[in-house]
Structure 1
Amino acid sequence: MAKKKHKKKKVTAVKQRNLVALNPLMRKCDTHEKTKKAKRKAEKMNLKRELKKLSFSIWAHISPKHAFA
């Protein structure tokens, strides 16, 4: 019987990837300020906070006797 020759399989080395460099959040490295959305939200929250303080201060000075007279 003749011996069968085995073909050698080519094994290619898989290059390891730098997962930190591929992170999509790392692409935003140039921005050092808040986004427009964050700025708008902060402005809205500050406005609500100021209105709440203002309305509380107005209602705190009105006595309950004269509120519904």
Structure 2
Amino acid sequence: MGFNMALLALRNDFKKWSFILWIVIIALSVYVFANWGAQGKIGQPTSVIASVDGDEILFKEYVE
């Protein structure tokens, strides 16, 4: 019975810590997204010109 209770307590503790971990991950990603968005790093196309048989092709790359 004691082992079962310890297992249950461990599981509840793990749930709590995984919840806290998810909150930290989400907060960090929101912070980074807001920061980079304010600086214009997200979704701003950077032009790359490649030459194929003398024709210039314009590629657009997006920062992910």
Larger radius of gyration: 1
Q: Which has the higher strand share?
A: 2
User: Taking structure 2 as the reference length, what is the TM-score of the superposition?
Assistant: 0.48
Which structure carries more relative contact order (alpha carbon 8 Å, separation 6+)? 2
User: Taking structure 1 as the reference length, what is the TM-score of the superposition?
Assistant: 0.45
